[in-house]
Structure 1
Amino acid sequence: MRTRKGQLGLGVMSLLMASACATPRDASNIEPASVGGAYQAQYRDIDTTRDAVSTVLVSPRMNAAKCKPYGGDTPTGTKGSYGGYLPDALRGEVLSRGDLVELLLPGDDTFSGDYVISRDGTLKLPFIAPIPAQGRSTQQVINDAVSALISGGYYATTPAVSLLVKDFAPVRVAVAGAVFEPQTVTIGGVPGDQVDTLRQAALGASTESRNLTVALRNAGGIRPDADLSAVQLTRNGVTYTLDLRAALKGFGFDDVLMIGGDELHVPSRGCFQDDLMIPSPISPPGISLYLSNLTVPATGNAPSAIGQTVREVPYGTRFTQAVIDANCVGGARATSADRSAALFSRNPMTDVSVVIERKVEVMRQRADRDDYDPYLLPGDSIACYDSGVTNLSEIARVVGLVGLAVAIP
């Protein structure tokens, strides 16, 4: 006669065995990811009826079919077709509020000295009216200063004047549109523990940390749907259209020096562009992954060597590469071959999430795997699932524990 405890143990065993054999349900998605209607065509279900060897990869073509026309000129693929025309107002070195400058007039102790461009964007010299400096070159400021000194009666003839930038101040720039983290970013400046004393003592200053590309990267980098042909920069009420496609082609381009109050807007083409999924000065600096790894044989991140170099992968990494990097692939074929991995992502244009799952061995075997191997995006998560054999072995372990508990009076 079975005891009540024994009956409970048998019930638990039966339930565990049934759950081990049950097929998990497919994930439900709002967007039609299974047919290529989500952010990436690579999300769609694998077509097992196609001849994988002879199939031409179609995902990039499916993605491109959704694209709106370029807002700027259509590229021709030649070096001269990228980069566009940069207005003179955006060329060269310009001043911003907070910049430290040195004004030098030979033999003059009244006006010579160090000055900080004021919050209102002007250079304020003693005894004369403030001189506009925000967004202007040092030569333009010098010309106005000379005119003010002569008209004020301080000089009868044109004096020799030098205006040198001694330090570029950090600036705040608003970045919106097709970037991963639209926000107001602060760029420029050097941390106190990295000050170069030799440069501090020298006349003049230079910086790359206040460039347009830095602002875009600090806002998370451009998204794959960005229209780089028509990036808008608004400065002092005037909007300029910039072509940044050269930044992804390895061609030289003018990296605009930003000033305080600038506004950047990156328009969207409304589609996923595979050719933007490469490291570049304006792409995300990398991708930090959220991983849920295997129970067997990976019992945790530390013993599985899942550290920072695994959780952070280069921009342009694909799903299968990350799954391998996360220790989800390999091992004994008899027990580990039938693993699968799930990707949790989000459409940055609509903010709607998507979940897809891939059989690791199916991806390994197919020649057209790239058609179903999505690119990873910032904030993506990966979960790995063990094979059926491993599931049964885990069930057996639990059943053994239950049986031991039942046997103990």
Structure 2
Amino acid sequence: MRSGGGYQAQYRDPPAATDAEPLLLSPRRNASTCTRGGALSDDAGSAKGDRLAAVALRGERLSRNDLVDVRVGDDETFNGDYVVSGDGTLKLPFLPPVPAQGRSPSDIEADLAVLLVREGLYDEAPRLSVRLADFATISVAVSGAVFEPHAVEIGQRAGDIDTARQRALGASTEARNLSAALRAVGGVRPDADLSAIELHRGGRSYTLDMRGVFKGRHAMDVMLLTGDEVVVPSRQCFQDDLMRPSPLSPPGVSLFLSNLTQPATGNAPSAIGREVREIPYGTRFMQAVVDTNCVGGARATSAHRSAILFTRNPMTGVSIVIERNIEDMLRRADRDDYDPYLLPGDAIACYDSNVTNLSEAARVVGGVAAASALLR
């Protein structure tokens, strides 16, 4: 790792500063280990995502527990609100269950028209309507190159819905989309292959390309259903281009820090809370060092401090410790080449300069000498 073999090439130790024109090599070093295809810089023609699959998944699809408004002319027997059952079917009185899971409202309308005639309830197909009245929450499983892979429940509605929307017929939500599921598991990792996200549904597999989210273009953000499984593959490399806020990125980084000259006697004086500090995703190590008051002050006592980053390789789970001389990093023109990006769960500790360490040692020696003199 000292030579750049870690999760980020920025982890490697910086060499002695020179007067030569600086070159930023870390992005190229990171990209050198990537699997072929799937980079943000690749054109759309290199996408692994299946456009036909994306089109097949477009539009409203019913899921278990969704609320549906059904109207069959003026027939009070069938008109009303129905909930899609746990087995994925819609059950109307006097009719066999109609499969609804993963199907569109228009598909349900066609089936109901056939059933009403086949069961002898109507001589010819009546005018009927099937409309989504409310989306239920769904449970999906997300794994692969995300920070917290696990099954999640998404689609919760905000409690403050205006009365006009409550009375209106129909429903719409973005909370059941693929991007919402990826955010719910901590966001995609920097090694994620966004060109080949896999969606497994009902025994079939679809491949989706979500790179447009990072490129300022439209991406196929499909609506998920209960029971869906999402797998985000890895490109086996750190991608600097993914280290920025986006609908697929972590909402922020909870940073654990310590910049105390002396260990604290309790949590309250140190302002230690549930999360010590929240910083934007894409923040670099030295930016956080400045934010934690580890930089500045009197040069005689505060210069030549050092900072330590405690992190972990999310691909292997191996812990990593990085130390940087703050004064040296402040003066390097190629600082970004050795300034790592912070990841969720990272911790920072700052150590004082040699002058402060010497003064602390002198204070302790003086205290011991004074106590010895009193005991004589």
TM-score by length of 1: 0.86
Q: Is the 8 A contact 2:283 2:342 kept in 1?
A: yes
Distance 1:406 1:75, change over 3 A: closer
Q: AA paired with 1:68? A: T
Q: 1:190 aligns to what? A: 157
Q: 1:311 aligns to what? A: 277
Q: 1:55 aligns to what? A: 22
- Cα RMSD (Å): 2.4
Q: Output the CA distance in 1 between the equivalents of 2:148 and 2:9.
A: 23
1:305: how far off? 7.8
Q: Is the 8 A contact 2:209 2:220 kept in 1?
A: no
Distance 1:345 1:138, change over 3 A: same
Q: Does 1:335 align with 2:301?
A: yes
Q: Does 1:237 align with 2:203?
A: yes
Cα deviations by residue, 1:209-256 (Å, 9 ceiling, x for unpaired)? 111000001111100111111110011110000111101111112211
Range with bigger deviation, 399-408 or 109-118: 399-408
Find the partner of 1:398 among 364, 368, 374. Answer: 364
1:150: how far off? 1.2
Find the partner of 2:6 among 35, 38, 42. Answer: 38
Q: 2:95 aligns to what? A: 128
Q: Output the CA distance in 2 between the equivalents of 1:309 and 1:125.
A: 50
Cα deviations by residue, 1:266-322 (Å, 9 ceiling, x for unpaired)? 001111111111111001111001111122799998778888997111110000001
Q: Does 1:258 align with 2:224?
A: yes
Q: Does 1:384 align with 2:335?
A: no
Q: Does 1:140 align with 2:107?
A: yes
Q: Is the 8 A contact 1:97 1:119 kept in 2?
A: yes
Q: 1:199 aligns to what? A: 165
Q: Does 1:356 align with 2:322?
A: yes
1:51: how far off? 2.8
Q: Does 1:110 align with 2:70?
A: no
Q: Which runs of 5+ in 1 are unaligned?
A: 1-32
Q: Is the 8 A contact 2:40 2:215 kept in 1?
A: no
Cα deviations by residue, 1:87-138 (Å, 9 ceiling, x for unpaired)? 2321011110010111012211111111000111111111111111111111
1:388: how far off? 0.7
Mapping for residues 212-227 of structure 1, pairs under 5 Å: 212-227=178-193
Q: AA paired with 2:31? A: A
Range with bigger deviation, 76-85 or 177-186: 76-85
Q: Output the CA distance in 1 between the equivalents of 2:292 and 2:69.
A: 54
Could you say what secondary structure the match of 2:308 adopts?
strand
Could you say what secondary structure the match of 1:185 adopts?
strand
Mapping for residues 144-183 of structure 1, pairs under 5 Å: 144-183=111-150
Q: Output the CA distance in 2 between the equivalents of 1:53 and 1:276.
A: 30
Q: Output the CA distance in 2 between the equivalents of 1:112 and 1:297.
A: 70
Q: 1:373 aligns to what? A: 339
Instruction: Name the % identity.
Output: 62
Q: Output the CA distance in 1 between the equivalents of 2:270 and 2:42.
A: 45
Q: Output the CA distance in 1 between the equivalents of 2:199 and 2:322.
A: 38
TM-score by length of 2: 0.93
Q: Is the 8 A contact 2:209 2:219 kept in 1?
A: no
Which one has a bigger Cα radius of gyration? 1
Q: Is the 8 A contact 1:75 1:81 kept in 2?
A: no
Q: Output the CA distance in 2 between the equivalents of 1:295 and 1:201.
A: 61
1:81: how far off? 6.9
Cα deviations by residue, 1:163-194 (Å, 9 ceiling, x for unpaired)? 11111000001000000000001000225x43
